[in-house]
Structure 1
Amino acid sequence: MIHRSDLLLFARATGQQDPVYTDVEAARKAGHRDLPVPPTYLFCQEMKEAADPLGHLRALGVDLGKLLHGEQSFVYHAMAYAGDELTFSSEMTADYTKKALRFLVRTTEVTRGGTPIADLSATTVVTS
């Protein structure tokens, strides 16, 4: 579940200036039913809900001390809000080497009651 307190912490930590991310009344006046999920927050929620957020990398035999963040992208289909129960379904979609670096791409489908909310993609780079 997405908790308001987590959204408030994330909004403040990322410098969100728009009060719709920190004030429920402002969010409602702007047409939202509750605090909306700030941009990029879904990656945090995915890691928070996972029993072992780096387990997929360990399963591939990756030395966690050699990780770099490559990139992440989001395709949004609908707004998510505080109080929502979201489901995260992830899979490794690419594993390739380029110039002695290993690139691992993980994609995640985020849904609410079966309705698509977002598609996430994260690339992790493993150094040699």
Structure 2
Amino acid sequence: MPVDVGVIGRCFPDLTVDVERGRLRLFAKAIGETDPVYTDLAAARAAGHPDLPVPPTMLFGLELDQPDPYRWLDEIGVDLRHVLHGEQSFTYDALAYAGDRLTLSARVSDAYVKDGGRLSFVVRDTDVRRDATRIAAMRQVIVVRDTGGTS
């Protein structure tokens, strides 16, 4: 069954996360980042940063730090077994750093159907803020395959 377009505008509870140096270093290692600015505090400060900067795509990983990061899909009636992560994009306004407390606010901004109803698309936008300053906006497009009632 296609996703109900009535989910457009649905907001989800804010998520507040503390950015930790150890987590940043682990993420940098996992993505193969070799610039010491992301792992060495002295190198970051020598480059003019107050602390280790958050690598660009790390913000999506922070969003996964909640107990059930996919609960929002269940809340809008999407069976996770039929989901494909279709797209992820980021718009940056400022840098985030270790020690920051960030608030992520997510909402469904669009939902539409293609391929005669066999594919539904759900667009989820998340604003990332440090206090009143927007750090970034993330957009995620989820593709949901209609199985016609079969698993």
Q: TM-score, normalised by structure 1?
A: 0.95
Q: What letter matches 1:29 in structure 2?
A: A
Q: Unpaired segments of 5 or more residues in structure 2?
A: 1-17, 147-151
Q: Distance in 1 between matches of 2:39 and 2:49?
A: 12
Q: Does 1:33 align with 2:33?
A: no
> What is the letter of the counterpart of residue 13 of structure 1?
A
Question: Could you say which residue in structure 1 is the equivalent of 2:13?
Answer: none
Task: Give, in angstroms, the shift of residue 97 of structure 1.
Answer: 1.0
Root mean square deviation of aligned Cα: 1.0
C-alpha distance in 2, partners of 1:85/1:107?
19
- Name the % identity: 53
- The structure whose Rg is larger is 2
Aligned residue pairs total 127
What is the Cα deviation at residue 54 of structure 1? 1.1
Residue of 104, 111, 119 corresponding to 2:129: 111
Task: For CA contacts below 8 A with separation 6 or more, give which structure has more relative contact order.
Answer: 2
Cα distance, 1:51 vs. partner? Answer: 4.2
Task: Tell me which residue corresponds to 2:74.
Answer: 58
- Paired position in structure 1 for 2:20: 3
Of the candidates 56, 63, 69, which is equivalent to residue 46 of structure 1?
63
List structure 1 segments (4+ residues) > 2 angstroms apart after TM superposition: none
